[in-house]
Every structure is written in C-alpha cells, then in structure tokens.
Amino acid sequence: MGNLFIYLCRRLAIFAKSVFFSLLTMFFLILSAEADNKYSPQTNLKNYALSTCLSQGYQNKEIKEDAAAAARGYLEFGDYSLAAHTAARELGKTFLDKQYGSQSGAPMTLAKYIDFYHSQQLDKLVKEFKDKRDD
C-alpha cells in the first residue's frame, strides 16, 4: 500500500508540473499573439531566448510545442538578426547544462530559466547584436 501511495504521489507531482508549465507557456503564447507588439526589440529577443530554452529543457511534448510556437512568434516580431537569435538559443543551452543543487534532488530547471532570462550574459548578447544585420 505504501509503494502505491508513493507512486501515485509522484505521478500527481509530474502531472501538476506539466499543467503548470502548460499554463506558463500559454501565457507566453497569449503575450506573443497580441496584434500590437508591446515589447521592445531587446525584450522580444529575450522572450525568444526564454521560449527556446523552455522548448529544450522539458521532455513534455505539449510544453515543447507551445514553447517552440512562442519562440517562432518572437522571432517573427523581432528586429534582431538570425545570428542573434541563434546565439541566444545556444546561450540558453549553456544554462540548461548547469548543475543546480537542491535539498530534494529536484532538477531546478525552472530556476535555470529564470536565471537565464535575468543573466548578464543574455543582456550582453542583446547589446552586442543590437543594430547588427545578417550578412
């Protein structure tokens, strides 16, 4: 009986995490779908970077697809070069590769996304590619 309870708790935790990230992704999609883009080109690039990071960091198909769709929207709205978008996506991978420790042993993937979005490295990349066009 105890093993069944533990199994059910774990399955419920996985389901809750999937629902949370689906809602988070839908939030980003709603923001990207607005007809008038309220974000600066710099913020669009950072939103793109976060969306691509989300699509790479989780195995859940729905989350991956939603995040990829949001990324495509930010790419479409963006004024930055393809090289800037590629660099942002690659930088996100480096944050996902970082090892975060937690007392519970949880992977802390969401913390990686938040740290990435607010990182000096991403801010530097945004400034570095400002007003640069693809050759």
pLDDT class of 28 with cuts at 50, 70, 90 = low
The string of pLDDT tens digits covering residues 52-110 is 999 999 889 999 999 999 999 999 988 899 999 999 999 999 999 999 888 888 888 88
Residue 26 lies in a domain: yes
- Domain with 57 in it: what CATH number? 1.20.120.1620
Residue 40 lies in a domain: yes
Domain that holds residue 102: 2-129
Residue 54 lies in a domain: yes
Residue 97 lies in a domain: yes
Number of domains into which the chain is organized: 1
Which residues are CB-contacts of 25 (< 8 A; sequence separation ≥ 6)?
54, 62, 63, 66, 67, 70
Measured in Å, how far apart are the chain's first and last C-alpha atoms? 64
Q: How far apart are CA 9 and CA 19, in angstroms?
A: 15
Residue 135 lies in a domain: no
pTM for the model: 0.71
Structure confidence at residue 15 (pLDDT): 63
Residue 134 lies in a domain: no
Averaged confidence pLDDT in the chain: 84
Which residues are CB-contacts of 15 (< 8 A; sequence separation ≥ 6)?
none
